[in-house]
Amino acid sequence: MLLEVSHLTVCYDKAMLINDLSMGVDQGELVSLVGPNGAGKSTLLRAITGLVAWEKRVKKRSTGGEITLKGEVVFEGERIDRIPAHEIVKRGLIHCPERRRPFREMSVMENLMAGSYLLKEKRQIQDNLKRVYELFPILQGRSNQISGTLSGGEQQMLAIGRAIMSIPKLLCIDEPSTGLAPIMRGEVFGKIKEISALGITVLLVEQEVSTVFKMASRNYVLSSGKIIAEGSGEHLLQNEVIRKTYLGL
């Protein structure tokens, strides 16, 4: 298995955000993680990719609260839950964050080049850039445009393109449809399917259940920090309790 998460627990002060969670992603899969707001989906991705620290209490500056984590994360057979986020990126586990977060004062090209900062060979960088432009032709036409002036959908494409520049073995995409018009959401989801078809393993966090269940090979349903169901979209939609209570369908 490419990614294995075992007995992961994340607490914020006394509140348990993730509760003894275990899951996995196989090589080549497109796996979705769905659930209501506040279920812990984004927290799970941040823990997997090292964006919150392990084995110590971490004080949040904004609120004064503290976060603690326990459990194991294994990627390509190696534990990565005690190493810095930039080392995780070197191993090919890449996080594309919610709400896009481009470097707004930088150009499209500069944002894409920021995604390749760990690469040394110019040929490799150019090959990656070509692949990004093939996936997102609109970015090539706007390579010199300041990213903060792009539309929301274009910024989402840029965020995914920047992540691809890091040569992901596993691409974790957090809520790519947030704030997008229906037509643009459909286009972004289509691009994610293309990325999966290229052989890049994808872990997709989303609330657009009806769409991702058609795309993903497997799905996890998360509620109150726990995995409460797993399976194909067809299988999960046959469960009336899950469909109505957790998926709102």
* 162 or 121, greater pLDDT: 162
Burial of 59 (0-12, 13-18, 19+ CB in 10 A): exposed
Which stretches of 114-190 are assigned E, i.e. beta strand? 170-174
The boundaries of the domain holding residue 241 are 3-246
Tens digits of per-residue pLDDT, 139-182? 999 999 999 999 999 999 999 999 999 999 999 999 999 888 89
N residues, the chain: 249
- The pTM is what? 0.90
Split into its structural domains, the chain has a count of 1
In which band, very low, low, confident or very high, does the pLDDT at 76 lie, cut at 50, 70 and 90?
A: very high
CATH number at residue 84: 3.40.50.300
Q: What is the pLDDT of residue 57?
A: 46
Tens digits of per-residue pLDDT, 49-75? 998 765 444 455 555 567 888 899 999
Contact between 161 and 129 (Cβ < 8 Å): no
Q: What is the pLDDT of residue 60?
A: 53
- Looking at the chain, the whole-number percentage of residues with pLDDT higher than 70 is 92
Compute the distance between CA of residue 171 and CA of residue 165 in angstroms, rounded to an integer. 11
Average pLDDT over residues 92-120: 89
- Looking at the chain, the whole-number percentage of residues with pLDDT higher than 90 is 63
Average pLDDT over residues 8-34: 92
